[in-house]
Amino acid sequence: MSSGDTRKLDIEKIGDVTVATFTDKKILDETNIQIIGNQLFGLVDDVGSKKILLDFSNVEYLSSAALGKLITMDKKVKGAEGKLRLCTIRPEIYEVFAITKLNKLFSMHENRDKALEGF
Amino acid sequence: MAFNEEFEVRIPSDTAEGQAVQERIIALLEKQQFSARDVFGVRLSLEEALVNAIKHGNGMDPEKQVYVGCWVDDEKARIEIEDQGPGFAVTDVPDPTADENLDKPCGRGIMLMRAFMSRLEYNETGNRLLMERLKNQPDNDDD
């Protein structure tokens, strides 16, 4: 499928942590979210990463469908006995997590360095 | 009543068409100098409302359409969205922040719309949504 060719995540390895930075400013529409979801799940299913850090520094918009995908990702990582952390979330986006109380579900960190501490 | 900007359209049940209407409304708000925060709230709410109408309301049925009306004046933006689906009871939507629902991947759209819009009302059938955002609405947590 050609949609799989669109890179939605920049992947880096820092020690044993896989850092995935979202490349899109808007994670809103279903098609994009589906692609992003597949690329995220691939980190667990294909790459076998156990420690995954999602960097939101580019993200300006995030819809409820994207939140749903992150929840599924969190379950997948936990199911593989891994750990998922989120970092560098701008205030408007943090508010989206806070309104839906998902800030209680996810391990959220101010920046990359803080997220990597004790990971 | 005089509006600075207004339009009404009917679009097919296609999320790409929904995106186009979203961009059209956002361009109007920017032209009318709504704040960045207003634009953020309206864009997010439009995304949620249009996806609900196209996907859940019309079930992506190409035979069904979604009506979108937009009215902008100096005080507010009002948007109405109606699908041709059977509707739903808003009160039946479970609280996504309840502990037992917190890890469920769905059901947060309406909550986000309520948080980011000044007014949000469904008709009795549940297939028509009216939402308003007051212009330059101050945040709750700062000024």
| B97 domain-assigned | yes
Domain-embedded: residue B24: yes
**B140 found inside a domain:** no
Quick one: pLDDT at residue B138?
A: 76
Q: Which of B68, B74, B110, B69 is nearest to B92 (CA)?
A: B110
Residue with tokens 């000024």: B143
Residue B35 in domain: yes
Q: How many domains does chain B have?
A: 1
Which is nearest to B67 in space by CA: B53, B78, B56? Answer: B53
Residue B141 lies in a domain: no
For each of chain B's 143 residues, which pLDDT tens digit applies? Answer: 689 999 999 999 999 999 999 999 999 999 999 999 999 999 999 999 999 999 999 999 999 999 999 999 999 999 999 999 999 998 899 999 999 999 898 889 999 999 999 999 999 999 999 999 999 987 654 43
The residue ranges of chain A whose pLDDT is under 70 are 1-5
**Helix (H), strand (E) at residue B113:** helix B109-116
Q: How far is A88 from chain B (nearest CA, A)?
A: 18
Q: Which residues make beta-bridge pairs with B90?
A: none
Nearest to A67 among B19, B108, B115 (CB): B108
- CA–CA separation, B117 vs B44, rounded Å? 10
The nearest CA of chain A is from the CA of B72 a distance in Å of 23
CATH number at residue B60: 3.30.565.10
- Tell me the residue ranges of DSSP E strands in chain B: 5-12, 65-72, 76-82, 119-122, 128-134
Q: Is B55 on the interface with A (CB under 8 A)?
A: yes
* Interchain pair A61, B55: CB under 8 A: no
ipTM over 0.85: yes
Closest by Cα among B123, B109, B11 to B69:
B11
**CA trace torsion A21, A26, A30, A36 (10° rounding):** -10
- Partners of residue A30 in chain B, C-beta under 8 Å: 15, 51, 55
Q: Which residues of B touch A61 (CB under 8 A)?
A: 40, 43-44, 47
Region A2-112: CATH code: 3.30.750.24
Residue B52 structural domain: 5-134
Contact B141, B73 (CB under 8 A): no
Contact A17, A43 (CB under 8 A): no
